[in-house]
Structure 1
Amino acid sequence: MKKITYNRFGGTEVLQLTDAPMPAGEIIVKVKAVSINPLDWKLWQGDMKLMSGRKFPKSVGIDFAGVVEQGSGKYSKGDEVFGLVSMFKGGALAEYIAVKAEDIAHKPGTITFEEAASLPVVGSAALQIFHDLLQIRPGMHVLINGAGGGMGPLAIQLAKMAGAIVTAVVGPAALDMASRLGSDVVLNYQRDNVLTGGTTYDVAIDLSGKLTYKIARTILKKNGVYVNTSPGPKEMIGSLFSGGRYKLLLLKPSVAYLEKLAAAGLQVFISKRYDFYDYKRAYDEVKKGGIPGKAVFVIT
């Protein structure tokens, strides 16, 4: 079978299509779609060496959807499933993968393989924010900065389901998407400055990595809460002295989140679909940004 691997850290030039033996494991899945995540290139660029280690070869891809080829327990041959592999080891970008039962859930029949593959990482993160970190009450003002990316559309929907008044800050390509999802206010970051609009917020969620807690405090209400979705060690220390106003997303995927996602009926927005063999162009384009929603590999 074919899979994408790399033998050293670097840019897309280190990625290569390789022949590999069929995987052995509890459950074998024939992969139909794989989502593209920023964590993919953070790993093969070497930005996450501390978590991923330095042993090669390494594999690419985290969340996927496909059909069970070899079943076990409640999963039988032919079942349609979605899930994710180890976030720091990767390996989903392959024709077949071995997984455990706790890595997957049954794919809803109402969504495609591409849509299902787009949910596990960003969907689990969005659920963790709105179900675990925050308590959103109807009428609260929620700012979602960087809402045009992979997690943003799901965050908008979950905030609206909770009755929030949502301000979404997005790039030009995502303006229509944010409006159609029900955002009450949509700001184009290239034209509008959320800091000078005069609105204060109960919650500010930064999905862009650019709105710091120090800056966000200027537009938060007295007891407003800030959520950092990509914290580093410095941010982890800083959050300890915020009196609970600075929340960190430390993603912990679980089958429980997958099952909630399967039942939530969230809309998934996919802007780009790439062939499995077009992996270098895919990553080069997605890394540049400006693609609203998700991008996925389709494996036939």
Structure 2
Amino acid sequence: MDIGDPAYELAETKTDRQSEDSEAALKKLRENWAEYDLTIYTDGSTLSSNENGGAGIIFTTSPPEDPRILRTVSIPAGRWCSSHRAELKAVAFALEDEARDKNLRTIRVVQDSKAVLTRIENCNPTIPLASSEEKTILESLQKCHRNNCKVTFSWCQSHCGVKGNELADDAAKVETKENQNNVGILDTTAKAAIWRFTRREFVTKPLLRAIYGERGEQLNRVEERRLSRKDQVTVSRLRSGHHPDLRYWQNLINSEESTQCRGCEMGQETAEHVLLECPAVGPFTRGTLVTKGSMAKDHVSIIRVWNRWRTKVIGAGKVASQ
């Protein structure tokens, strides 16, 4: 066997994704349980919306309907973590742990996620790996092979009466309730968490909904690309609230800066205030904006209101020109 070829190695270790019928899956687990020195049930879980991931691993022997529990392990998967990565983390820990035992000859890993099994099957060390878990899994499989230990991956539908799978799920949920701020996360996971948080702001802040519509992710990108480069930058800055001309943003950088609006001196100088509330804009311009509806679909309105406000304030000598 060529250790350098993970696809071949995984085929040799018999990646066995069973029938989608839960009874058939359970029956198959019962039929050949005696072939394995060790059966490991793994599962992953998150608290809510990909937050606080946990991985559960149950090491067993004996039939699946009445397994002998050798060890139960719960490990944190990260403050921001998808259930998929938590599942991979559970498999990685199980294989890395048992690859050290040179006395084992057959190991079965039971998973309830076909997506995880497919990802393991497609792992390739010759291309950049998406996660450290995949690298650990491949290295552990190769180590098991050198120790003459055959690893079989089996699929089991979740919540279908397999005790080991249920216990792994419970073990994974234990860590979802713990503080995981010190657990590292992937760059891709961090980006996804930031995007989810940004979209959540549209649900919790009425002013943002008024500016960008009920669902902030549905932005009119086609129309935005028709703007000049300068106007595109302005729209993006105002959408995020981080325009360098806004006192609110300047205050975040230097807390000694006032946040009072220089156009009306009646509110905080935020993007929402300037675009929706500040009297310096004038009723005609804002009335046109409101009748046109969502500013997420009408970037011209954003630019028009912003330029009118900024021109009036600059004309009064209250801000420096860009």
TM-score (norm 1): 0.23
TM-score (norm 2): 0.22
Which structure: larger Rg?
2
